[in-house]
Amino acid sequence: MELLEQKILNEGRVLSESVIKVDSFLNHQIDPVLMQQIGEEFSDRFANKGVTKIITLESSGIAPAQMTGLSLGVPAIFARKRKSLTLIDHLYSASVHSFTKNETNEISVSKDYISSDDTVLILDDFLANGQAVLGLMDIVEQAGASLAGVGIVIEKGFQDGGKILREQGIRVESLASIESLVDGKVTFTKEEAS
Ligand code: G4P
Ligand code: NA
Ligand code: NA
């Protein structure tokens, strides 16, 4: 997605060979116009797949998930990272380990909002090692729902997440795919025709 790549080049700050900061439009301040276009793009890529629910993880997945839900006309659910006081037993949960942050979070979704009748699209802001997506897939499976695929705003192609998911036959659509952050420079993976 050309507009997103331009935004990353103009506003992203490469912090190391593996991390890029995009707080001005995705992880802190949100650009609603860009987010609307991101929603439309995911909606186009997963049109006619029978998606009934979008699932993401709080907090940075919420904005793209909500805009995609608006375009597809379906609800967006965010898995919570902490157990809520009012949701105790009635939960699907999974463990998600972050190698980047070296912490493990229990993530959970109420059984009220996902069922075996659903076809779910998983969305997230970043794909690094794939642990968040695998945790969300675990929840989708516990609910007996079908998985339409995975949509990612920014994939870091030099980390393993994309490979792990695609090797399982899962459809992964990334709107920007970063091949390298070496020398403070962002290089995108050439987009395959789709
Ligand atoms: P994984 O799920 O693919 O295994 O990713 P990982 O554990 O490495 O990611 C942990 C957190 O760091 C996630 O945010 C993820 O979106 C974010 N992240 C990973 N790589 C980058 C990067 O290069 N740049 C930025 N800006 N973020 C990155 P989170 O903890 O869930 O936080 P939130 O923003 O959703 O609240
Ligand atoms: Na995230
Ligand atoms: Na994030």
Across the beta sheet with 119-127, what order do the strands follow? 76-79, 53-57, 119-127, 146-156, 172-180, 187-188
Ligand 1 nearest atom to the CA of residue 135, by list position = 2
HSE-up of residue 94 (Cα within 13 Å, Cβ side): 19
SS3 assignment, position 188: strand
Q: State the ligand closest to the CA atom of 135.
A: 1
ipTM given for this complex: 0.94
Ligand 1 nearest atom to the CA of residue 98, by list position = 7
Measure Cα distances from 4 to 78, 106, 174, 181 in Å.
23, 31, 11, 16
HSE-up of residue 20 (Cα within 13 Å, Cβ side): 34
Predicted confidence (pLDDT) per residue in 91-147, tens digit: 999 999 998 889 999 999 999 999 999 999 999 999 999 999 999 999 999 999 999
Q: What is the pLDDT of residue 85?
A: 60
How would residue 191 be classed by pLDDT, with cut points 50, 70 and 90?
A: low
d(CA 123, CA 115): 18
Peptide linkage before 180 cis (omega within 30 of 0): no
Which protein residue has the closest C-alpha to ligand 1 atom 6? 98
Predicted confidence (pLDDT) per residue in 131-187, tens digit: 999 999 999 999 999 999 999 999 999 999 999 999 999 999 999 999 999 999 999
Q: What is the pLDDT of residue 164?
A: 98
Ligand 1 site residues, Cβ closer than 6 angstroms: 19-22, 27, 57, 59-61, 98-101, 125-132, 156, 161
39 Cα–ligand 2 center, Å: 16
Does pLDDT of 33 surpass 70? yes
Which protein residue has the closest C-alpha to ligand 1 atom 26? 21
Predicted confidence (pLDDT) per residue in 59-100, tens digit: 999 999 999 999 999 999 999 997 666 656 799 999 999 988
Backbone CA torsion sign across 129, 185, 122, 24:
positive
125 Cα–ligand 3 center, Å: 6
Q: What is the pLDDT of residue 192?
A: 60
SS3 assignment, position 62: helix
Name the residue of 17, 30, 100 to mutate for ligand 1: max ligand atoms within 8 A of Cβ: 100
Q: What is the pLDDT of residue 79?
A: 97
Ligand 1 nearest atom to the CA of residue 127, by list position = 3
Q: What is the pLDDT of residue 83?
A: 65
